[in-house]
Amino acid sequence: MWEKENKVRQYILPIGYTVVMTLCVPLHMMLLECALLAGSGNAESSSWLGLGLYGAGVLIYLMAVAVLGILNVVRSFRAYRQKDIRYCVNGMLILKYGMVLYFIINYVVIAMIVLAGGLAAFVGSRGTILFALPFMLPGILFFMTVLVIGTWLIMVPGAFYGVQVIRLSYGEKKMGMGAALLHGFLQFNFLVDVLDAMYLAVKKWGMGKKSSVLIGILYGGAGAGLIWFIAGAVN
C-alpha cells in the first residue's frame, strides 16, 4: 500500500496535469453555471459580477495548466539527466495515454454542444441561419485555429517526456540518428504521437504493455467508429 502511494506521489506532476486537463470542459461548465447564477440579478453589477467570476476562474485554470505543463517539461529534463528511463517512459505514457481520455471526454462534449447549438439555431431561425454562414465563417475558422493551436500546446509536456525517452534510447544504441529524428517529429503530431509512445515503451524498453493493449483497443474502436460514421454519412 505504501509503495503504491509513493509511486503516485512520484508521478504527481504528470498525473496532476492529466487530471486537470481531463476536467477542462466540466470545470468550465461549472464555472459558467456559477457565473450565470451570480449574474442572475436585475442589477447591472450582477452581470459584471458573473462575468468577472467566470473570467477569474478561467484565468486560474489556465495558469494552473501552464504551471503544471512547465513543471512537467522541467521534470522530464531532470529525469533525463538522472538517466531515469523508467520515469521518462512512465511520464510519457501517463501524459500520452491520459490525453486520450481528455480528448474523448472534452471533444465529444464540445461536439455535442456545437451540434445541439447549431440544430437549435437552425430550428429557431427556420433555416434562415444558413444565409448567415458566409459571415460566420471567419469566426468559425478563428475558433478552429485556436482549438488546433491549443490542442497542440496541450501535447507539449508529454512530447518532452517522449523526447527524453528517444534521447536515452539513442544513447543506449537502441536507435540511430534518423530513427531518433523521426520519433521526435512524431511526438509532436496529433494521433500518431500516442502510437509512437506505445512503440517506444513496448518495443524499445518493454514497458507499459498492459496499458498499451487497452489504448490500442480504444484506438481501434475509435477508428472503427469513425469509419462507420463516415460510411453512414456517405450512404
pLDDT at 5 over 60: no
* Domain of residue 164, residue span: 1-234
The listed range with the strongest mean pLDDT (58-67, 82-91, 126-135) is 82-91
Counting the structural domains of the chain, the total is 1
Confidence of residue 199 (pLDDT cuts 50, 70, 90): very high
* Residue 122: predicted pLDDT: 63
Q: At what angle do helices 209-234 and 85-124 cross, to 10 degrees?
A: 20
The more confidently predicted of residues 102 and 188 is 188
Cell (9 digits) for 41: 440579478
Confidence of residue 63 (pLDDT cuts 50, 70, 90): very high
